[in-house]
Every structure is written in C-alpha cells, then in structure tokens.
Amino acid sequence: MHRSAPRLSRILACAAVPVMLVAAGCSSDSGSDSKKNAGSSSSGTPSAKPSEPTVEAARFDDLPDPCGAIAKKTIKDLVPEAKKENGTAGRSNDLAARSSCSWNGLDDKGVDGSQYRWLDVGFTRFDSDQSLGSGAKRATAEYTKQVAKAKAAEGAEKVAAEPTTGVGEEATTVTYGLSKTGEDFVYATVVARTGNVVVTLTYNGAGYAGAKTPSSASIVKGAQKATKEAVAAVADTADTKATPPPAGGSDDAKKDAKKDTAKGSGSDSPKSKAKPNTKTS
C-alpha cells in the first residue's frame, strides 16, 4: 500500500501535462488572431484610402473661329490691301484645341514706296486632366513656353520683352527687329493667357521701295489691340454656347439674335469658311 501511493501520484502528474499544453496552445492561437485583426476595423473590413482631390474644371471648352476673332475694321487698319480679307486659316486636327489664321498685304504708295504688313493669331486650349493638372495650369506652362520661343526667334535683333496689362489674365509683349528680303522688319509678338486658353499673336511690317520702316510703337499698338479682340472672342464663344437660342420665333428673329451676339463680341465679320492653308510670311 505504501508503494502504490507514489505511483498514483506520478500517473496523475503525467495526465495533467496534456491539459496544460492544450491550454497553452489555445492561448497562442488567440494572440495570433488578435495580431491579424489589429489592422482591421471592428467590422473586419480594411479602412478605405482617402480619395485624390479632383482638378479644377477647365473654364473654356471650345475656341473661336480664328479668322473671325479679330474685327474686320481692325484687319483693314493693320493689314491694308490684305490679299484675303477673311484671312487664311491654318491646318489643325482639332479646331477645339488648336487653331490659327493669318493675313498679309502690300499697300502700294506709288512713288512713296510700299508698306508690307503681316498678322497671325493662334489659339491653344487645354483640358483639365487628373494626371496632368488643371487646364489653367497647363495653359500657364504653354504661355511661358511661347514667350521664350518669341524671345528666341532666329535672326532677331534688339529683343525686348515686357509684361502687358489689360490683356487676359497675364500677357507679355516681345519686340525685335529682323532683316529679310533686303528690308528691315519690325516685329511684335503678344502672348496672352485667359483661363485655359493661350493666344499668340504676331504682327510685323516693313517699308519697300524707299518707304519708311514702320515704328516699333505703331506695330506694338496694333498687335496689342488685335490681341485684346482675340482674347475677348474666346469669352464670347463661351457665352454664345451658354446662351440657348430663343424658343420658337421666326428664322429672321434667330438671325437677328446671332447678329446681336456678333456685335457684342466686338467683331463685325462673319466666321470665315476659308480652307486650311499653311502659307506664312
């Protein structure tokens, strides 16, 4: 009897070992689960990432007819005896994104020689893009690029650039001289930005057969006047699209409404239907 007591104690001790191991195992699993669930919400669903901020919407979604963006009277004043009064449109794969038009003419003054003038206006529009930025931001980069391009014109002499107020949201006028065809030309390029659209206008002139070279002041004045009209045409195009046509009414009433809109834009010329042409001065 005395010998059986120790043996019974050993059996009870051995029987207790598996119970302790099982308890330990349960404790370990519980800790593992808590670690796995540490990064989850109480519902078991991972927390959502914050969404990226959307870019500002583009202000303008279309461009004006470039050959109708400058008033007919202004064209007559700046380019006397223009070969094509309605201008020559430049080629473009997308007229809502990029367009241009140019005019040139030689005004024969007889024994006093001749005056040559050339005018070109171009529009570039940018859409807002989540990966590229807002249309205004992209247009600002293009504006800077066009100013630098004008200042680096090949063969340009006495290049000068200065900020220009009252033309769009920002504008720069670049002036320089250039000798070609045996004559001295005076150039003025005005680069302006309005919203997500960049307007680049170049105006130049020269005197032939003994005629005086035009003054830089007169060329700059003409270039800035034409650029103001081109910038205004961008806004007028947007306003025209935003205003619905009059409901009902006769065809004559609708035509009168269109005429009133054209007068409000500062342009008295109809939109040109000239075929694309890449000829330049």
CA-only gyration radius of the chain, Å:
37
β-strand partners of 19? none
What is the end-to-end Cα distance of the chain in Å, rounded?
A: 127
| CB burial of residue 92 (10 Å; 0-12, 13-18, 19+) | middle
Question: Does 99 or 265 have the greater pLDDT score?
Answer: 99
Spatial separation of the C-alpha atoms in residues 211 and 113, rounded to whole Å: 5
Q: Is the pLDDT of residue 242 over 80?
A: no
Give the tens place of pLDDT for each residue, 135-190. 999 999 999 999 999 999 999 999 999 999 999 999 999 999 999 888 999 999 99
Q: pTM of the full predicted structure?
A: 0.70
Give yes or no for a contact between 213 and 206, defined as CB atoms under 8 angstroms apart. yes
Largest CA distance in the chain: 151
Give the tens place of pLDDT for each residue, 58-79. 999 999 999 999 999 999 999 9
Give yes or no for a contact between 157 and 191, defined as CB atoms under 8 angstroms apart. no
Most confident among 28-37, 173-182, 191-200 (mean pLDDT): 191-200
